[in-house]
């Protein structure tokens, strides 16, 4: 696409995101060859109408020189004449030949004024709690508004505004995608030791009363197909859903959840798209229920050497000299090179409620894996779940995982820091036997 056409799209992104009806355009854009079927499906999976409009405009900038005038034709053919007129007013005279005449004698509409994104962005981030929430009281006073039940471990649990209901049997589905052997032409190394991670997590979530399904060595389209199949299941009789992905990863641009994971064919799926499959819009039977994603993959290519602290604050570290990473250099595809979201995306982005994404490493950094013992993150997560699931909520346990992994060192030098994007609304306690 020519640079002047990109400038028109960027200058009118607020109007496009606010008013564009992307679903009416898909057939025309596909027929005219602007997008492929896979690209259309990617856009459709990005979320709400506004999310789809935003992704469509972003992807449109990466297409050929005819993409802009063909996009205008689709707008006119679908009756979206106001937007077509706005874009025409921003184009140089004579540079476009629309399929039908459109009135252009109107003032140029500028993007709507918005408040500073920095303050809003900071407020949004501050909403996510980072400290463990207080446990529900084990000696509650009777209340007609709250229902209490006793677990086998003797811990009183309440299904109320503070705690998710987690007593279905089975509790829910757990999908594990374990990519170990990558095609040679991808340049991605095989992930030795990942089978150990997969076996540990399969045993652990079966013990937590989940129905576990393991898929191995999936290509990008196969990953999407499995996630789509999971989203189409009827989850109405279950209380939770878990997705675990073990693969190589990379850093891509995003407006919600960072990072991406690779299929064995060298094509990646953004974590943001992975979570969209199970959100309230695409999977109604999981509305209001916790959806948990555990990502053992690199968030980028940087290696963290840490910083010096007092010896009293550091426990003995572990980690071998032959530890490997799941890092891939930052992608050079259109996904990672596209321009950042405009202000409207940050200001109006809805909260993806009841979703928690736990990453094995901080965005932008590598994740370490021992070929004989498995990854630091999964090994620690498995042990913490075994030791503490009967007494602690999920967020508290993930904080314990963060602390223990942070004490490790690879090759006597490199560190790793797991973390989570937490949009859960209540405490979550797993079932334990």
> Which of 89, 113, 148 is the C-terminal boundary of a domain?
89
What is the predicted pLDDT for the residue at 167?
92
What is the predicted pLDDT for the residue at 203?
96
Q: What is the pLDDT of residues 188-232, one digit of tens each?
A: 888 888 899 999 999 999 999 999 999 999 999 999 999 999 999
Give the pLDDT band of residue 64 (cuts 50, 70, 90). Answer: confident
Residue 311 domain-assigned? no
Please indicate, yes or no, whether residues 295 and 178 belong to a single structural domain of this protein: yes
Cβ neighbour number for residue 125 with a 10 Å cutoff: 10
- pLDDT of 311 over the 90 cut: no
DSSP letter for 313, please: G
Greatest mean pLDDT range, 102-116, 129-143, 369-383: 369-383
Task: Give the domain CATH number at 395.
Answer: 3.40.50.1460
Q: What is the pLDDT of residues 246-258, one digit of tens each?
A: 999 888 876 678 8
- Per the structure, the count of domains in the chain is 2
CB 188 within 8 A of CB 262: yes
- The mean pLDDT value of the chain amounts to 75
Give the pLDDT band of residue 88 (cuts 50, 70, 90). Answer: confident
Cβ neighbour number for residue 23 with a 10 Å cutoff: 13
> Domain range spanning residue 278?
172-303+351-423
Contacts of 73 (CB under 8 A, 6+ apart): 28, 32, 98, 99
Residue 148 domain-assigned? no
Q: What is the pLDDT of residues 93-112, one digit of tens each?
A: 344 444 444 444 444 545 54
Instruction: Determine the 3-state secondary structure of 265 from DSSP.
Output: coil
CB 226 within 8 A of CB 218: yes
What is the predicted pLDDT for the residue at 405?
82
- pLDDT of 392 over the 50 cut: yes
What is the predicted pLDDT for the residue at 261?
92
The rounded percent of the chain whose pLDDT value lies above 70 is 66
DSSP letter for 267, please: -
DSSP letter for 108, please: P
Distance CA 78, CA 391 (A): 57
Greatest mean pLDDT range, 48-52, 245-249, 417-421: 245-249
- pLDDT of 337 over the 60 cut: no
Q: Which residues are catalytic?
A: 248, 298
**Rounded mean pLDDT, 263-288:** 92
Give the pLDDT band of residue 235 (cuts 50, 70, 90). Answer: very high
What is the predicted pLDDT for the residue at 160?
52
CA atoms within 13 A on the CB side of 82: 7
- pLDDT of 413 over the 90 cut: no
> Which of 48, 66, 89 is the C-terminal boundary of a domain?
89
What is the predicted pLDDT for the residue at 140?
39
Please indicate, yes or no, whether residues 182 and 83 belong to a single structural domain of this protein: no
> Which of 40, 73, 89 is the C-terminal boundary of a domain?
89
Task: Give the domain CATH number at 38.
Answer: 1.10.533.10
Residue 23 domain-assigned? yes
Please indicate, yes or no, whether residues 176 and 85 belong to a single structural domain of this protein: no
DSSP letter for 195, please: H
Please indicate, yes or no, whether residues 70 and 197 belong to a single structural domain of this protein: no
Please indicate, yes or no, whether residues 270 and 391 belong to a single structural domain of this protein: yes
Please indicate, yes or no, whether residues 368 and 255 belong to a single structural domain of this protein: yes
- pLDDT of 87 over the 70 cut: yes
Residue 65 domain-assigned? yes
């Amino acid at each position: 696409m020519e640079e002047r056409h990109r400038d028109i799209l960027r200058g009118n992104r607020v109007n496009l995101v606010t008013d564009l009806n992307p679903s009416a355009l898909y057939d025309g854009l596909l027929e005219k060859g602007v997008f492929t079927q896979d690209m259309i499906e990617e856009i459709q999976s990005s979320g709400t109408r506004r999310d789809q409009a935003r992704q469509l405009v972003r992807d449109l900038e990466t297409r050929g020189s005819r993409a802009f005038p063909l996009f205008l034709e689709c707008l006119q053919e679908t009756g979206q004449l106001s937007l077509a007129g706005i874009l025409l007013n921003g184009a140089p005279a004579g540079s476009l030949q629309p399929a039908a005449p459109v009135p252009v004698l109107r003032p140029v509409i500028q993007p709507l004024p918005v408040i500073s994104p920095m303050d809003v962005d900071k407020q949004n981030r501050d909403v996510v709690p980072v400290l463990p929430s207080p446990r529900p009281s084990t000696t509650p006073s009777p209340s007609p508004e709250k229902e209490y039940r006793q677990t086998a471990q003797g811990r009183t649990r309440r299904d109320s505004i503070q705690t998710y209901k987690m007593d279905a049997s089975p509790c829910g589905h757990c999908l594990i995608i374990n990519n170990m052997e990558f095609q040679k032409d991808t340049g991605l190394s095989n992930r030795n030791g990942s089978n150990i991670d997969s076996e540990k997590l399969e045993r652990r979530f079966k013990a937590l009363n989940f129905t576990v399904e393991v898929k191995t060595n999936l290509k990008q389209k196969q990953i999407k197909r499995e996630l789509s199949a999971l989203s189409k299941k009827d989850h109405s009789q279950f209380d939770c859903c878990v997705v675990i992905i073990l693969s190589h990863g990379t850093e891509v641009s995003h407006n919600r959840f960072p990072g991406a994971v690779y299929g064995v064919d060298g094509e990646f799926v953004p974590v943001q798209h992975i979570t969209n499959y199970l959100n309230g819009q695409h999977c109604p039977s999981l509305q209001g229920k916790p959806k948990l994603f555990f990502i053992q993959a690199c968030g980028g290519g940087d290696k963290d050497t840490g910083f010096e602290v007092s010896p009293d604050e550091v426990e003995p570290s572990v980690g071998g000299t032959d530890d490997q990473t799941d890092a891939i250099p930052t992608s050079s595809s259109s996904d990672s090179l596209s321009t950042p979201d405009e202000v409207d995306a940050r200001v109006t982005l809805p909260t993806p409620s009841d979703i928690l994404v736990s990453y094995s490493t901080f965005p932008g950094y590598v994740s370490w894996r021992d070929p004989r013992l498995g990854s630091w993150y999964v090994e620690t997560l498995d042990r913490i779940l075994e030791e503490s699931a009967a007494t602690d909520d999920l967020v508290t346990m993930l904080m314990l995982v963060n602390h223990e992994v942070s004490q490790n060192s690879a090759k006597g030098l490199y560190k790793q820091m797991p973390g989570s994007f937490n949009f859960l609304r209540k405490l979550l306690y797993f079932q334990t036997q």
